[in-house]
Chains A and B, each alone.
Chain A
Amino acid sequence: MSNPLLEIRDVTLGIGRTGPKIVKGANLAIAPGEIVGIVGESGSGKTMLGRAVLGLSPAPISMTAGEIYFKGAAYSGMSEPEMRALRGAGVTMVFQEPMTSLNPAMRIGRQLEEGLELHGNIGRKERKARMLDMLRRVGIADGERALAAYPHEFSGGMRQRIMIASAMLMRPALLVADEPTTALDAVTQRDVMDLLVDLTREFGTAVILISHDLPMVARYCSRIVVMQTGEIVEMGETAELLGAPKHDYTRKLLASLPMRASARALPETRPIVSVEKLKVDFAARSGLFGRGGVKHAVRDVSLDIRPGEVLAVVGGSGSGKTTLARVIAGLTGHQGGHVLFNGHGIRPGSAGYDDYRRNCQMVFQDPFSSLDPRMKVGALIAEGLQALHDVPSSEHAARVEKALESVALNASFASRFPHELSGGQRQRVAIARALIRRPSFVIADEAVSALDVTVRAQILKLLADLQSQFGFACLFITHDLSVVEQIADRVVVMHEGRIVEEGSRDEILDRPRHDYTRRLLSAIPVLDTTPAGGVELRWRTELGQGAKAFAD
C-alpha cells in the first residue's frame, strides 16, 4: 500500500513487560476509506488490537513491541494531548453494548454535543444543526425530541444508531467498530450495519470491523483478517479468502458455518405435542399504581409436533417464541386454548401428567445460570434420575457416566463444579441432564445463542447426532435462521405473538411467502462450497420474489 491511513507494524501487546502476550507481532495496513474486518473467537486478541489502534489499551496491557502509525505519525511519539486530539477527530470507536456505552444519566443531546465541544470551535447553533442532521442520517426522524431524551427511552437498535451518529459527528478518518451489532437481533443487525457502511462511505471514513460473525464481516468488508490466539493467521481479499482459505483455522471457521443438512422423511403419526389456539397475556403495569394494561405475548397459536421431528420456532425479540416454549414446558400459565402432550393435558393432576414430566425436558439458553453453582456436575445430572423412582440409586453413577459420554465429556467431569467449565462444556452438561431420562420431547430455548461460533457448531452437531440416535422430538427456539438451516425439519415463523408462516424447512428458506420471513432471510447468506475447500456467500434480497432472487 503506497499511502496507508493506518499502519500496524509488528505490534505485540502483553500483560506487563514480561507477562503473557495478548497480540503477537501483528502487521496490518489500512487504506483511506477501506472497510477491513477482523474475525476470530473470544480470546483471539481482536478486541485488544482494536483498543490499541485507539491508544486505549486497558490497564495491565500495553504495547511491548512494534509501532502504530496514523497518517505516518507514530503513536509512541505523541503526547497525551495529541493522542486525545487524535481520538474523536481522527480515530473513533463504536462499542458492542449500546446500553453501557451511553451514559444513562445524560440526555442524548448533551452526549452528542460533548465531542463537538472538545474538538474544534463550532458555535452553539452550528453544533445543533450538525447534530440534527446526523440524527436524520442515522434514521431518527424526530431529532429535536431525541436530543432531549435519555438513552433508556430507545431500543437497542436505536441506541446503536445514536452511538454511530455520535462517532460520525466528528467525521473521523477511521472508525473502529467492535462487535457493533452482536447484541441486536438479525434484522436490526443488518439495518444498523447497512447504515454504518453507507454513512462511512459517504464521509470517506475507513472502518475496522471486529466481529466473530464471519458472514456478516464478509458482507461488508473488502478485506478480512483472521486472528487466532493473538496471531494474524490469514489475511486477504474477501472472496479470495472465503473461496480458497489457506490456513487450517480459517478452514475450521468456514466449516463451522451452518450448512444445510438433507431433508428427512418422517412418518405421518399422531403428534406428541399439540398446541391449540394458545393465548398468553401478561399484565403490563405502568406507573406507580399501574392502570392494568395487557400485553398479548402469544395470540391464537396452534401447532403440532410429531414424534422424532425437529420444529424450529423463529422470530425476533418480543415475538412470543420463548413464552410459547415456557408454556409447553409448564413454566408459565396460559389464558386461552390448550396444550396436549400425547393427547393429555399438562396441568398437574391431569391423567398423563407423570408421563409428561418424565418425557418433556428443556435445555436453557444461558449455560451460566441453568446449572446450580453449588452442585457438582455429577449431582446435577443425577438429579434428572432422582425424580424417577424406577431407577435404583445404585445405578445412578453408571447412568451419569454414560450420559457424560454421550455428550463427549469424560467421567472425571462428574466431580467438577459448573464454574470450572467453559460455556460449551456447561451446555453439554445441561444437555446430558435433559437427556439422562431418555425423554421423547426436548425443548431447546436459544440453546446455542450464547456460544462462540466454532463451539456453537459443535453443540449443534451434538444435538443433531443425539436427536437421530435417541429419536426425540425437539422444539428449537431461535432468532437465528442459519441455525434452522442445519437442524430443523419444519419451521414456524413468529412475529408479534402470532404465527406468520409455517412450512418445511426448504419451503421456508427457499420460497418464503411472508414479508417478515423475507426480512429475516435477507440477513443470512446462502453458502455454496467451492472446489478449493472454501465457501461462496450469496445474499437474498428482501424484496425478491421466489427462490432465486439473489443480490449481486
Chain B
Amino acid sequence: MRPVAPNLVIGLALTGLVGAMALLGAFWTPYDPLAMNFASRLAPPSWSYWLGTDEFGRDQLSRLMLGASASVKISILTVILAISSGTIIGIVSGFLRGWPDRIIMSLNDALLAFPGLLFALGLLAVLGANENGIILSLGLVYMSSVVRVVRGTVLSLREREFVEASYVMGNSLSFTMRRHILPNCIAPLTVLATSMCGWTLLAESALSFLGLGVAPPMPTWGNMLAGSRSFLDQAVWLVIFPGLTISLALLGINLLGDALRDRLDPRMRRRVG
C-alpha cells in the first residue's frame, strides 16, 4: 500500500466540509436564514452570530449554509449535464469523422468562440433567471469544451493498436467504444469535470452578482457576495466569508480532481519493481 497523497486528504476534507454544510443547510440552520432582525443589523462576528449578520440582520452562517445547498446543487447538475451530453456528442463526432464530424465541430467551435458568460446571459433571458435556467445555460456553455476534449481523445485512441486489436477480435463498434474508448476518456474527463465544478461556482456567483441568478431573498454564495459590496467599508465580514467559502470549495474540488486522476489511472497505482 502506497502512502496516501496529501492532495487527496486535503481535497476530500475540503469538499467533505462543503458537502456536509450543503446537506445540513438543506434541513437545519442555526437561525432562520430569511428572517430579518433589524435590531442586530450589520453585527460583527460574535458568540451569538459566528460570522456576523447582514444589512437586514440575517445570520450569515445560516445563509451560507442554505446558499451552499443551492450552489452545490447547481454546480453538480450543471457538470453532469455538460459531461454527459458533451461525451455523447464528442464520441459520435470522433468516431464518425467525415461530414458529421465537420458539422458538429463547426457548431461546437462557434459555441466555444462565443464568450461563455455572455452566451449564458442570453440564454437566461430566454429561459428565465432561475435555478433550472442557470443549469441549462451553463451546461450548454460548458458542453462545448467537453465535446472538444472527448473528440480529441477519441481521435487519438481509435488509431491505437489495442482498439484495432478489438476489431480484429470481431468486437462491434459499440462494444469497442464501451470497453476500450470510454474508460480511457475517464482521466481527462475527471480533470475537466472538477475544474468545471469550479467554473460553475464562479459563473453562478457572477450571474447572481449581475442579478440574473437565483433571486433574493433566497441566498447563494454568489448573490451574498454581490449584495455585500455596498457595505464593504462597514461590514468587511460580509465579503470575506462568502469569498473564503468559494475559494476553499474551489481549492478542495481541484485537489480532489488531481488526486482522482492519479488514482483512476492504473499506471499510477503500482510501479514496475
Query: Could you tell me the distance between the alpha carbons of A430 and B266 in the complex, rounded to whole angstroms?
Result: 19
Of A357, A362, A372, A421, most buried by chain B (CB within 10 Å of CB) is: A372
A364-B161 contact given A330-B168, A374-B266, CB 8 Å threshold: yes
A550 interface residue per 8 A CB criterion: no
A387 interface residue per 8 A CB criterion: yes
Query: Could you tell me the distance between the alpha carbons of A329 and B164 in the complex, rounded to whole angstroms?
Result: 10
A369-B272 contact given A330-B167, A357-B170, CB 8 Å threshold: no
B183 interface residue per 8 A CB criterion: yes
Checking A329, A369, A372 against B168 with a beta-carbon cut-off of 8 angstroms, the contacting residue is: A329
**Smallest distance from the beta carbon of A532 to chain B beta carbons, Å?**
39
A499 interface residue per 8 A CB criterion: no
Minimal Cβ-Cβ distance residue in A for B272: A420
**Smallest distance from the beta carbon of A352 to chain B beta carbons, Å?**
13
Minimal Cβ-Cβ distance residue in A for B268: A419
Query: Could you tell me the distance between the alpha carbons of A371 and B272 in the complex, rounded to whole angstroms?
Result: 16
B28 interface residue per 8 A CB criterion: no
Query: Could you tell me the distance between the alpha carbons of A417 and B162 in the complex, rounded to whole angstroms?
Result: 14
Which A residues touch B160, using CB under 8 A? 369
Which B residues touch A419, using CB under 8 A? 266-267, 272
**Smallest distance from the beta carbon of B182 to chain A beta carbons, Å?**
10
A373 touches B165 (CB 8 A): no
A433-B165 contact given A372-B180, A420-B272, CB 8 Å threshold: yes
A420 touches B162 (CB 8 A): no
Query: Could you tell me the distance between the alpha carbons of A433 and B165 in the complex, rounded to whole angstroms?
Result: 9
Minimal Cβ-Cβ distance residue in B for A372: B162
A331-B164 contact given A372-B184, A420-B272, CB 8 Å threshold: yes
B170 touches A387 (CB 8 A): yes
Query: Could you tell me the distance between the alpha carbons of A353 and B190 in the complex, rounded to whole angstroms?
Result: 39
B130 interface residue per 8 A CB criterion: no
Which A residues touch B164, using CB under 8 A? 331, 362, 364, 370
B184 touches A374 (CB 8 A): yes
B84 interface residue per 8 A CB criterion: no
A160 interface residue per 8 A CB criterion: no
Which B residues touch A361, using CB under 8 A? 168-169
A370 touches B165 (CB 8 A): yes
Contact with B along A414-440 (1 / 0, CB 8 A): 000101110000000010010000000
A417 touches B170 (CB 8 A): no
A387-B169 contact given A366-B161, A369-B161, A372-B162, CB 8 Å threshold: yes
B166 touches A383 (CB 8 A): yes
**Smallest distance from the beta carbon of B271 to chain A beta carbons, Å?**
8
Interface residues on chain B, number (Cβ under 8 Å): 20
Contact with B along A227-264 (1 / 0, CB 8 A): 00000000000000000000000000000000000000
Query: Could you tell me the distance between the alpha carbons of A331 and B160 in the complex, rounded to whole angstroms?
Result: 12
B162 touches A371 (CB 8 A): yes
Query: Could you tell me the distance between the alpha carbons of A433 and B167 in the complex, rounded to whole angstroms?
Result: 13
Contact with A along B180-200 (1 / 0, CB 8 A): 100110000000000000000
**Smallest distance from the beta carbon of A508 to chain B beta carbons, Å?**
28
**Smallest distance from the beta carbon of A77 to chain B beta carbons, Å?**
40
B171 interface residue per 8 A CB criterion: yes
Which B residues touch A387, using CB under 8 A? 169-171
Minimal Cβ-Cβ distance residue in A for B159: A369
B270 interface residue per 8 A CB criterion: yes
A364 touches B266 (CB 8 A): no
A370-B171 contact given A419-B266, A419-B267, A420-B270, CB 8 Å threshold: no
Of B167, B170, B180, most buried by chain A (CB within 10 Å of CB) is: B170
Which B residues touch A362, using CB under 8 A? 164-165, 168
Query: Could you tell me the distance between the alpha carbons of A384 and B270 in the complex, rounded to whole angstroms?
Result: 26
A511 interface residue per 8 A CB criterion: no
Which B residues touch A360, using CB under 8 A? 168
**Smallest distance from the beta carbon of A43 to chain B beta carbons, Å?**
13
Which A residues touch B266, using CB under 8 A? 373-374, 417, 419
A84 interface residue per 8 A CB criterion: no
Which A residues touch B171, using CB under 8 A? 383, 386-387
A417 touches B161 (CB 8 A): no
Which B residues touch A357, using CB under 8 A? 168-170
Of B171, B180, B266, B269, most buried by chain A (CB within 10 Å of CB) is: B266
A51 interface residue per 8 A CB criterion: no
A358 interface residue per 8 A CB criterion: yes
Query: Could you tell me the distance between the alpha carbons of A420 and B273 in the complex, rounded to whole angstroms?
Result: 8
Which B residues touch A420, using CB under 8 A? 270, 272
Query: Could you tell me the distance between the alpha carbons of A373 and B187 in the complex, rounded to whole angstroms?
Result: 12
Which A residues touch B162, using CB under 8 A? 369-372
Query: Could you tell me the distance between the alpha carbons of A387 and B168 in the complex, rounded to whole angstroms?
Result: 11
**Smallest distance from the beta carbon of A415 to chain B beta carbons, Å?**
11
Contact with B along A373-413 (1 / 0, CB 8 A): 11000000001101100000000000000000000000000
Which B residues touch A331, using CB under 8 A? 164, 167-168
Which A residues touch B168, using CB under 8 A? 329-331, 357, 360-362
Query: Could you tell me the distance between the alpha carbons of A432 and B160 in the complex, rounded to whole angstroms?
Result: 19
B169 touches A417 (CB 8 A): no
B169 touches A384 (CB 8 A): yes
Which B residues touch A354, using CB under 8 A? 170
Query: Could you tell me the distance between the alpha carbons of A365 and B170 in the complex, rounded to whole angstroms?
Result: 19
Query: Could you tell me the distance between the alpha carbons of A383 and B272 in the complex, rounded to whole angstroms?
Result: 24
Query: Could you tell me the distance between the alpha carbons of A416 and B122 in the complex, rounded to whole angstroms?
Result: 52
Query: Could you tell me the distance between the alpha carbons of A386 and B178 in the complex, rounded to whole angstroms?
Result: 14
Query: Could you tell me the distance between the alpha carbons of A330 and B267 in the complex, rounded to whole angstroms?
Result: 31
Which A residues touch B179, using CB under 8 A? 372, 383
Query: Could you tell me the distance between the alpha carbons of A374 and B264 in the complex, rounded to whole angstroms?
Result: 9
Query: Could you tell me the distance between the alpha carbons of A364 and B167 in the complex, rounded to whole angstroms?
Result: 13
Minimal Cβ-Cβ distance residue in A for B163: A372
**Smallest distance from the beta carbon of A369 to chain B beta carbons, Å?**
5
Given contacts A365-B161, A419-B272, 15 further A-B contacts (CB under 8 A): A361-B168, A361-B169, A369-B160, A369-B161, A370-B162, A370-B164, A372-B162, A372-B180, A372-B184, A374-B184, A383-B166, A383-B171, A387-B171, A417-B266, A420-B272
3 shortest A-B CB distances, which residue pairs? A357-B170, A370-B161, A364-B161
- Chain B interface residues toward A at CB < 8 A: 160-162, 164-171, 179-180, 183-184, 266-267, 269-270, 272
28 contacts between A and B (CB under 8 A): A330-B167, A330-B168, A331-B164, A331-B168, A357-B169, A358-B170, A360-B168, A361-B169, A365-B161, A366-B161, A369-B161, A369-B162, A370-B162, A370-B165, A371-B162, A372-B184, A373-B184, A374-B183, A383-B169, A383-B171, A387-B171, A417-B266, A419-B267, A420-B270, A421-B272, A430-B165, A433-B165, A433-B169
